[in-house]
Amino acid sequence: MKNLKIYFLLFVAVTAFISCENNDKAVANNVILEFDNTFKDKTIILGDATSSSATVNVSASGQAHHFSELKYVISNIRLIKTDGTEVPYNINDLDKGAAVIDQSRPASLQYVMHNIPAGKYKQVKFGLGVKKELNTLDQMRFPIFYAIAGANDTKMMWEWGTGYRFTKLEGYYDADHKEMSVHTGSTVQGDEGDYIQGVDAYRDIVLNLTVNAVVGDKAPKISIKADFDKLLSGKINTIVLKSGQGAEDNATPNVHTAVQMIKFVDNLGGNGSSDLTGMFSVKGTEN
Amino acid sequence: MLLFKMMKRAAVLSWVFLLIACEKDYEPVLSDNALVKLDIPSYFPSWNGYAHENKPTEYGVELGKRLFNDRRFSADNSIACSSCHIQNYAFADDNVRAVGIKGREGFRNVPPIQNLLFMKFYNWDGNVLQLEKQPLVPIITHEEMDSSVLEIISRIKDDEVYKRLFTKVFGDAAVTADRIYRSIAQYEYTLISAGSKYDRVKKKEAVFTQDEERGYEVFQIKCISCHNTALFTDQSFRNIGFPVNPDRNEAGRARVTGLQEDYMSFRVPSLRNVEYTAPYGSFGQFATLKDVLDYFDAGVLDAANLDPVFKNNGNRIPLTEQEKNDLISFMKTLSDNKFTGN
């Protein structure tokens, strides 16, 4: 009887220990998420205002545009087995489970996940942005991600909202190369009574794999296309860029203004209900 | 048998430890650290709900005040919270827009720090709802202190005075981000301004002069629908057609809510100690109170979401020169010289 009690207590202690840890103690196998940032089928080349090499895209409403900077945050990654089991990947640890995808840094376009349990996977889910529980710029809790996001050449932070920037797109539009600057992020701060203040720009993306990813001895690579043509010519909103200082103007004073931002958010990351893919699609899986 | 007993104890103990490790923000209230007794008039509004979870304590306030005045909070050790939040200006300053390290300019006017215990929304656009969540913003903002909380911790953690104070407040000397935020908030909760002439009149300990009395009457007709309650703000957000901030980051409360109707709306500012918080407006558009009243009288900028108070009255608040002077006399009765040290 005593023995049983001891075993039980040890079991409880061990479980408590594990629940503090992240569940990455399984078989050591990698899965690679590879991001191809495109305008339609063309991989984007960045360039400054008058660049001749930058990839130029024309929106549904006829506005030519190109980017000088393209960054976004992914987190909350989950892989779904063919039997429906969901395998979360450090979903509550930004240091181990979130990344800044930066078009100017080729290494950042491949996100390598470690210790994924062996098996067949049919679906990948991830967040564009950071879910609100973790979006607090908590440097003590996640010093690594805080440093990556806050770096001077990355600037994926919204200091005033104590949250991360989820996407940061800088570029130029129209023949006279007017500046465009689209930043997205959440402004949710909490509750004031029954009133929940702010907008949540986090979007959950759900992508079905065309070919199952087989995790075992090899490291499968899942290629994901992020088609930034959707920014202006999305499934949800067709956006016309307009420079100026009014509430309707969206091209540049849009840096921190939630009014126009959410249209871009829905185009890039879907609306969280009828559209769960936004600009993302699966190109293929290499096993 | 003995071995079993020891194992059992070890197991229980380790389980308890792990439980504590998993728990966050476990802060024991120490018995020798008494709650601060706050002198609050009965006609003041209720507390911000979050303040009940972080009531000011004797040592918590002492620690918070020390942190508030510590220049090591800024990247180059040049400014503290108190560099912009100066007591003589009701814990605001006299700059048009906030000035941070290396003369970097922010895009809004420094708000006074007074009666925050009773505020439901903080800052011009109300983006912060819980005071403990505010200190991080100036710490990391490029135009303010441009530092980080880990940097600050590394600078102050071996300071003997802080070690003693952190231990008195939190039970051990560990300096954490949460403890810093909580202590600063505790100090700020105690910055209560309720000792103006207006308050003495309210308690029948003083009487208004004739000018003040006339001003109070005008105030009740033309101002009180927004500058309501004992705080002289109803804490609503309104677009009152002030000159628009040219900074492209500015959208007023719409920046927070994403609602078109909040575009260029700002929280109605408290009028307490308004004599000491010039210049006025979200980016210091007006140098004097007279300038503000002249602007209201002349007519404000139109906007789709211009507040009905203006929209329904030809976009203005008509005021005679006499009324303006009387209003200013009245507003000066809201000065609390004990609070500001003036």
CB-CB: which of A12, A140, A257 is closest to B15?
A: A12
**Interface residue ranges in chain A relative to chain B, Cβ cutoff 8 Å:** 2-3, 5-6, 9-10, 12-13, 16-17, 19-20, 137-140, 143, 146, 150, 157, 159-162, 187, 189-192, 197-199, 245, 247, 252-253, 255-259, 261-262
- Residue of chain A whose alpha carbon sits nearest to that of B15: A13
At A246, the pLDDT band (50, 70, 90 cuts) reads confident
What pairing do the DSSP bridges indicate for beta strands A31-39 and A221-227? parallel
Distance from C-alpha of A124 to C-alpha of A208, rounded to nearest angstrom: 7
A14 pLDDT exceeds 60? no
CA B130-A167-A209 angle, to 5 degrees, is 115
Place of tokens 């006017």: B109
Shortest CA gap B290–chain A (Å): 29
Q: DSSP string spanning A124-146?
A: EEEEES--TTT-S--TTT-HHHH
pLDDT average, residue stretch B9-35: 55
Contact list, A148 vs chain B (CB under 8 Å): none
Long-range contacts of B35-44 (CB under 8 A, 24+ apart): B36/B61, B36/B190, B38/B117, B38/B189, B38/B190, B38/B192, B39/B192, B39/B194, B40/B192, B40/B194, B41/B194, B41/B199, B41/B202, B41/B203, B41/B230, B43/B202, B43/B230, B44/B115, B44/B118, B44/B194, B44/B230, B44/B231
Shortest CA gap A60–chain B (Å): 25
Query: Given this model, what pLDDT does residue A55 score?
Result: 98
Is the omega angle on the peptide bond into residue B279 within 30 degrees of 0, that is, cis? yes
Predicted confidence (pLDDT) per residue in A187-211, tens digit? 887 666 667 888 999 999 999 999 9
Shortest CA gap A218–chain B (Å): 35
pLDDT average, residue stretch B56-72: 98
Q: Which CATH architecture group holds B197-337?
A: Orthogonal Bundle (1.10)
CB-CB: which of A139, A159, A192 is closest to B150?
A: A139
Share above pLDDT 70 across residues of chain A, in percent, rounded to a whole number? 87
Query: Given this model, what pLDDT does residue A193 score?
Result: 66
**pTM (2 decimals)?**
0.87
Residue B263 to residue A247, Cβ atoms within 8 A: yes
pLDDT average, residue stretch B262-291: 97
Assembly ipTM: 0.84
Residue A258 to residue B4, Cβ atoms within 8 A: no
Residue A240, CA atoms < 13 Å, CB-side half-sphere: 4
CB-CB: which of A13, A190, A262 is closest to B129?
A: A190
CATH no. of B27-189? 1.10.760.10
CB pairs under 8 A between A and B: 120
CB-CB: which of B121, B127, B148 is closest to A187?
A: B127
Contact list, B22 vs chain A (CB under 8 Å): 16, 19-20
Positions of CATH 1.10.760.10 in chain B: 27-189, 197-337
Query: Hey, of A15, A132, A162, which one would you mutate to test binding to chain B, going by the most B CBs within 10 A of its CB?
Result: A162
Burial of A81 (0-12, 13-18, 19+ CB in 10 A): middle
Predicted confidence (pLDDT) per residue in A31-48, tens digit? 999 999 999 999 999 999
- Residue of chain B whose alpha carbon sits nearest to that of A248: B260
